[in-house]
Chains A and B, each alone.
Chain A
């Protein structure tokens, strides 16, 4: 820990301001709360929204886990951990169940989380309506009036054209029948974990200066037509070559020597735990 900077980098006033925005976000699930995003030593677009949430919440007694693509060792995760270690005295872990705060990019861990834990997600584009409307002034009105027809139309158009809904990650959800929300670029595989969960989910977008939240026991429904059920990524017939799991999100890997294609768990710490059982 370096003494020349404040605990958790940001000054106390900034941290308090961010915590107030978090409270508002928790009070209105799925609603994007604007906040005065601060610049960090880490690039905008590299998780600065999530980091600001983590920095404003973290304190002695916390244990932090950071993952990127499900992996604790990925460059970006390592980089963020290094930064938090530099400005706090908080220990880091790779074990999901030991962490009080988990910061993540693109995945929700496979181990279900408890009401003692907060999952902080990094968000590049918080606005779920951005794919149908570029102007912020317009999307704000659309949310206010629940004018969500354009995004449903987008889904319908992909059905007509390709016979399938073609959104991959960042699959939009309806929160408590009120706000359509971007769950961040997690795969559709992880969307159901948002519904009626035990833990608090916080979403931070640093560049776009928005915070939103899904508190425990919130109704979160992935958008789907009445006659066409929501479909997750399909790993039927595939299993992790390391731990043998068939119920996890898998990374597809090419062996450059043999040209062979195989699969392994994207959540690396879960994979290790299964193997050690």
Chain B
């Protein structure tokens, strides 16, 4: 009671913030932002993806500021984003021309453009590497640079998606191409039934753990079960904005790392079968999140009573900021409402004893 009911809230908060500083001061070594950015890449990617803001530098800063909590870091980035004016909108980014660093298919051995395993932890043994306790960072960096110099660069070729081939055969359902203005979930209340652009944006920004858990429920039987990863690709896509001085011209503003996934499922097509496709695309190298997104995208097109098939359930409960904000608000004082609840409980009991 002491910390709110009467007074002293202000002092308490200040002391609390000082204590946070103390927790961040555990060692005299500084946590260099460059180190977070370059050596905690997957954490940075996760935070950027859930924040919906692509900036490795700010993501690193946010992580430093909050002792590495991913939801606090997302929070900081989102709040910062609210203060920024939106001056331009990029043109549609073309993932066919992605500068691919990894591309695999679980559906076909051979795909046009070829599979590129790229960097993955999938085939490592998860054994603690105690050599890293005392690592020669400089030596590692030198060795890796030498390795890159010895490679011969290959010009990247545009690569169509695996699903294109199946579409030509008429085996796969596809959404009609829609180049209209997408629904913007950052500036509008999501309405139901949600448009596809709203659905994909919401899933792409959602909390990684939430999407993974829901997609897992689908695989375990609370849904349409076991889809096949038609394709997973990670790489850099180029971003351009319209050049206002000259009609039809555009300006290159940079590139971002994306992971894009298509999963295939069997589906009914009157008295035969067809394939249905789920789509996922997220910022950074968040492979499981992208796959989970694709699984859920398809699941939301399926009629049924499982949680993952309920649009409002899936789209309204996965935002990191919203879920953590509301859960943490339970710590706020509820003296007035609890008093009211208590009053109602007492009244019913008084009646009982009468």
Contacts and interface: CB of A to CB of B under 8 A. Distances in A.
Q: Do A and B bind each other?
A: yes
Interface of A: 5-6, 9-11, 13-14, 17, 34-46, 48, 68-71, 73-79, 82, 105-107, 124, 134-137, 162-170, 185-189, 207, 209-210, 233-234, 249-253, 266, 268
A74 B335 CA distance: 11
Contact of A251 (B13, B186, B339): B339
Contacts of B326: 44-45, 124, 207
B279 to A, nearest CB: 23
A74 B9 contact: yes
B336 A34 contact: no
B337 A251 contact: no
B7 A73 contact: yes
Given A5-B83, A43-B324, A162-B348, A74 B337 contact: no
Contact of A168 (B75, B186, B343): B343
Contacts of A251: 5, 335-336, 339
B171 interface: no
Contact of B329 (A34, A43, A70): A43
B337 A187 contact: yes
Contacts of A78: 9-10, 13
A141 B308 CA distance: 23
B342 interface: yes
B34 interface: no
Contacts of A268: 6-7
Contact of A46 (B9, B332, B343, B347): B332
A46 B330 CA distance: 9
The listed residue with most A CB atoms (<10 A of its CB), out of B76, B81, B84, B344, is: B344
Given A71-B5, A75-B4, A76-B333, A252 B340 contact: no
Nearest to B81: A39
Contacts of A69: 4-5, 333-336
Interface string B81-101: 111110000000000000000
Central interface residue in A17, A73, A249, by most chain B CB within 10 Å: A73
A164 B347 contact: yes
Is the contact region of chain B dominated by helix, strand, or loop, or is it mixed?
helix
Interface string B232-257: 00000000000000000000000000
Contacts of B193: 137
A44 B321 CA distance: 7
B333 A43 contact: no
Contacts, number: 173
B169 to A, nearest CB: 37
Contacts of B13: 75, 78-79, 82
Interface residues of B, number: 55
A6 B192 contact: no
Contacts of B327: 45
B138 interface: no
A253 B325 CA distance: 28
Contact of B341 (A5, A13, A42, A168): A168
A17 B316 CA distance: 23
A166 B5 contact: no
A253 B333 contact: no
Nearest to B82: A38
A43 B325 contact: yes
Contacts of A35: 189
Contacts of B266: none
A70 B324 CA distance: 25
